[in-house]
Structure 1
Amino acid sequence: MTRLSGKRTLITGGTSGIGFETAKQFLNEGARVIVTGNNPDSIEKAKSEFGSEVVVLKADSASVEAQQALANSVKDHYGQLDVAFLNAGISVWQPIENWTEEAFDRSFAVNVKGPYFLVQALLPVFANPASVVLNTSVNAHVGVANSTVYGATKAAFLNLSKTLSAELFPRGVRVNAVSPGPVATPLYDKLGIPDAYREQVDKDIVAGIPLGRFGSPAEVAKAVVYLASDESAWTIGSEIVVDGGRTLNI
């Protein structure tokens, strides 16, 4: 029996990486799926791979206006929404002296402000009950050099799983979080690490993971499926850490 049969779902940042894999698993579980992306190449690739099964929309996660437009599109397509996986995000790592106000604001806009106002825009669209899953990060918990801004955005986003739960539960909306450790995705590829140092950086990261490898998008997606499904009906304001034991080494 499929766990998401007939559920109307939205996945932001669903044209690559964890979002793309989650969309595939949602489909396998019987869900109807809308995904968003902002990169023209990944959007076209997603359209090609998903075909007519999935609605693929362009949306800038940093734009509050775009979040309202997205909510309107979801309402027009579904009427109501059962599941939202807020996955879109950027990961910029650099020393504190390299940060500019513009870059700082961009990271918070994509990782915190946009998703927050998407939830606001979706309030009239959410079914009762509904499930919202936030994709945060173990960097909300660990202190890693050069991750100051990224870690701060993820800590803020993780906190929303609790504060929004307290506010939205009376409306029938459950909010939970999944926090991946290092996962082999295009997001990781965009960290800006020079190729000459990439192999060593990979080794250093893996050395801090007890399971001795990077995670896969599929492993994170399985946790999202659980939080999206009715199996987690008694799970509210919680966090599932999927990190191969990374946080054991804090």
Structure 2
Amino acid sequence: MGQLEGKTAVVTGGSTGIGLATAVRLAAEGAHVFVTGRRRAELDEAVEAIGPARATAVAGDISEPADLDRLYDAVRARGRGLDVVFANAGTASFATLEQITEEHFDRIFGVNVRGTVFTVQKALPLLNDGASVILNSSVRADDGVAAFGVYAASKAAIRSFARTWANELKGRGIRVNAISPGTIDTPGLDAVVATPDTPDTPDTPDTADASGAAGASGTADAPVTKSQFAAAVPLGRIGRPDEVADAVAFLASEQSGFILGANLYVDGGENQI
């Protein structure tokens, strides 16, 4: 019996990287996992990786309320409520203060902040008492990495929401906590380090995988940039998606039953020592 046997979970941005690794881990613990993301083909591949009997894919963009409604309609149709929400989907791109445009700001805050707010708000009628909500913040919320200000501010907002919502939902026994990944080796990180650090840098795909992209200057030589990142981590390497998934599984389970409103760093000590 897994720690989440018979539970129902939602993972946004669940088609690649941290989201996919987490969906796989939650399913291995016994949960049925609803995964959402913008790209149907990647979602179908994710379901195969998770296990078709343990996963349901619902394509959509968390910044679009109608897409969230379709996601939760699918959860409602299963008839077992909702026990775990991992609000993971996010986006990142570089822009200095001088370069920030309205489009850049609205895109990042629209997904990372607005999308997270309504991901959790629309889940409320389905959440079973004692459910666990985990928000994906970032180590970048704590520092001042150049050209990452809007992204960092969006993740600081996520950390703040975790505290407030933990207070608001504690009467139902619903625990809200945050995780803050450091530099994690994912497709999202690859997308950030391989492109120029301008406000036109493409967004990372669906997930907050670029959360630890500290000081990426935009280069086609991603392995060199990753080696530079690794040198800044006390453990001497960048993290793996499954290591973040382990932390989310812990916060989703009863093993973390006395943890509320906290922020769990998964950063190899990057912002700790």
TM range (shorter): over 0.9
- 1:178-226 CA-to-partner distances (Å, cap 9, x unmatched) read 1100000111122153444534432332221111111000111111001
Structure 2 residue aligned with 1:233: 257
Can you give the 5+ residue segments of structure 2 that lack an aligned partner in the other structure? 196-218
C-alpha displacement of 1:118: 1.8
The more displaced of 162-171 and 45-54 is 45-54
Please tell me the residue identity of whatever aligns with 1:162: R
Report if the CA contact (8 A) 2:91-2:111 is conserved: yes
Structure 1 residue aligned with 2:112: 111
TM-score, normalization: structure 2? 0.86
Query: What is the rounded CA distance, in whole Å, between the counterparts of 2:32 and 2:45 in structure 1?
Result: 19
C-alpha displacement of 1:69: 2.8
Report if the CA contact (8 A) 1:68-1:118 is conserved: no
Report if the CA contact (8 A) 2:31-2:54 is conserved: no
Query: What is the rounded CA distance, in whole Å, between the counterparts of 1:118 and 1:80 in structure 2?
Result: 15
C-alpha displacement of 1:47: 3.2
Structure 2 residue 14 is matched with structure 1 residue 20: no
- 1:33-65 CA-to-partner distances (Å, cap 9, x unmatched) read 111111233123213333343101101011123
Query: What is the rounded CA distance, in whole Å, between the counterparts of 1:64 and 1:103 in structure 2?
Result: 20
Structure 1 residue aligned with 2:146: 145
What pairs with 1:111-130 in structure 2 (closer than 5 Å)? 111-130=112-131
SS of 2:189's partner is helix
C-alpha displacement of 1:135: 1.0
- 1:67-92 CA-to-partner distances (Å, cap 9, x unmatched) read 23322221112441011111111121
The more displaced of 2-11 and 216-225 is 2-11
Please tell me the residue identity of whatever aligns with 1:221: A
Structure 2 residue 271 is matched with structure 1 residue 247: yes
TM-score, normalization: structure 1? 0.94
Tell me: CA distance 1:115–1:78, structure 2 relative to 1, closer, same or farther (3 Å).
farther
Query: What is the rounded CA distance, in whole Å, between the counterparts of 1:187 and 1:78 in structure 2?
Result: 34
Point out the structure with the larger helix share.
Answer: 1
Query: What is the rounded CA distance, in whole Å, between the counterparts of 2:270 and 2:79 in structure 1?
Result: 39
Q: Note the aligned Cα RMSD (angstroms).
A: 1.6
Structure 2 residue aligned with 1:75: 76
SS of 1:204's partner is helix
Percent identity for Structure 1 against Structure 2: 41
Report if the CA contact (8 A) 1:61-1:67 is conserved: yes
Structure 2 residue 248 is matched with structure 1 residue 224: yes
Tell me: CA distance 1:156–1:102, structure 2 relative to 1, closer, same or farther (3 Å).
same
> Number of aligned pairs?
249
C-alpha displacement of 1:245: 0.7
Report if the CA contact (8 A) 1:8-1:78 is conserved: no
What pairs with 1:134-173 in structure 2 (closer than 5 Å)? 134-173=135-174
C-alpha displacement of 1:145: 0.9
Please tell me the residue identity of whatever aligns with 2:246: K
